[in-house]
Chain A
Amino acid sequence: MSITINGKAVDPPEDPRVSLLDLLRDHLALPGAKMGCNQGACGACTVLVDGERVLSCLTLAAQMEGRSVTTIEGIGSPDVLAPLQQAFVEHDGFQCGYCTPGQICSALAMVEELRRGVPSHVTGDVSSEAIAFSSEELRERMSGNLCRCGAYNGIIDAITATCRETAE
């Protein structure tokens, strides 16, 4: 069975040690997902698997057979940016740009989680069906994506500007 990556079928690697991140970066020339720690501590490698955000550094590519992977390259291109990508530029949601693809992939899935009503650590009443779209909820839910340049305010602004309506 193959892995679908940004809509294209790809054979899983022969060596089962290859992580999804290394498959993307070293084998498929898709370096948009970034390596910041290779140990699940920074979020730079975040990609979408069947629409859910996961860390590609801790995912063995072999586990992805039959799954559909979307990377930043599948979200938009420099000429045709997705609205959230455009908002990151407008709101200066990055400086060096290295954690950015992970932040964007993470945010896209995060908004879906919020819409679905998945509670978070800062949700007041976890039994409540609807979760309010607040800065605090966004910040908690994005906390798995580190940004050492400290573009956190701009990232939250970009997500808020783009995704508020979707979430509500």
Chain B
Amino acid sequence: MTPFKYTRASDAADAVRKGAATGVKFLGGGTNLVDLMRETIERPGELVDVSGLSTEIVETDEGGLRIGAGVRNTALAEHRRVRTAYPMLTRAMVSGASAQIRNMATVGGNLLQRTRCSYFYDEDGSRCNKRVPGEGCDAIEGFHRGHAILGASDACIAVHPSDMCVALAALDAVVHIEGAKGARTVPLVDFHCLPGDRPDIETVLEPGDLITAVELPPMPFAAASTYRKVRDRASYAFALVSVAAAIEIEDGQVRDVRIALGGVAHKPWRATRAEAALRGAPAGETAFAGAAATELAGARPLADNAFKVRLAERTIVSVLCELAGVTA
């Protein structure tokens, strides 16, 4: 680890002030950042500990939830309102990492998790455009079984590893940010970037920007939502594919639907094409399969991750069938 200075922020304004200097990183639970610092992939000169800030979950006037960025993953997962009104979020939280890591990791930090691509981690021995823009990507012709099938570029095929963010993408979550120019909000689906030719730019955050909260709008039909994670190990493994979904059915027809995918792209992937195809369609396996195929039509898999296309389609159909109470 490169030497750094450790300070604590007293409040958000203090954090934003401290964060304006170059080389400063905010520290939440540290579950990803400390690891990356030990690998010397991250080399901040100063860590500003923001883990004690904004640790509350409050109901909004609209009937949604505002989740402080410092809320620990476990606290979010076990929150009563989350469990009843947004169960897909609880399910996503408890399928991520291990209980110990969930006790440490914060919501804000979870949004900023970096990819687990082996070549990104191999700082000494491999090329990675995320670490060194323009250097090249060793994953494209290397081990890429776990890599992106949607929205990838010639520069980067890494995937975003978060489970939580997939549920947040499906739930129309909004990220609250404070920065030098004041406070602003960004929809979660716009918060993360696709790699393009600058995979080192992963979010829309400007230097010094602090995530203060994530807000969930009310979504009554999300009370019956779910999250399905497919992985190589029965627990404590990153997703090969995951699906967060909520569906509202009226008279056998899909009135509204939310679908987001994990493990398939550089960002949590909101399946807007599938959603559009489903709205107004009869709730049944045929429509679900058609919608899934529509979404995955844009997939550009490589040799070893082609299975993810079929896996994603099948998992979407299965999850929607489960929520709709129809047999696949």
Contacts and interface: CB of A to CB of B under 8 A. Distances in A.
Contacts of A17: 1, 3-4
Interface stretch (A68-76, A80-88, A113-121, A154-162): A113-121
Interface string B65-96: 00000000010011000011001001100110
Contacts, number: 99
Given A16-B6, A116-B78, A127-B87, A144 B49 contact: no
Contacts of A120: 94, 99
Contacts of B181: none
A40 B101 contact: yes
A19 interface: yes
Task: Kindly state the interface size class of chain B when it binds its partner.
Answer: 35 or more
A106 B4 contact: no
Contacts of A60: 6, 27, 30, 34, 47
A54 B35 contact: no
A30 B100 CA distance: 20
Contacts of B99: 53, 106, 109-110, 113, 120, 141, 144
Contact of A121 (B31, B95, B104): B95
B98 A43 contact: yes
B30 A38 contact: no
Contact of B30 (A58, A117, A127, A139): A58
Given A127-B84, A144-B97, A58 B1 contact: no
Given A55-B100, A58-B34, A60-B6, 12 more contacts: A38-B38, A55-B104, A58-B30, A58-B31, A58-B35, A113-B74, A123-B94, A126-B90, A126-B91, A141-B99, A143-B235, A144-B101
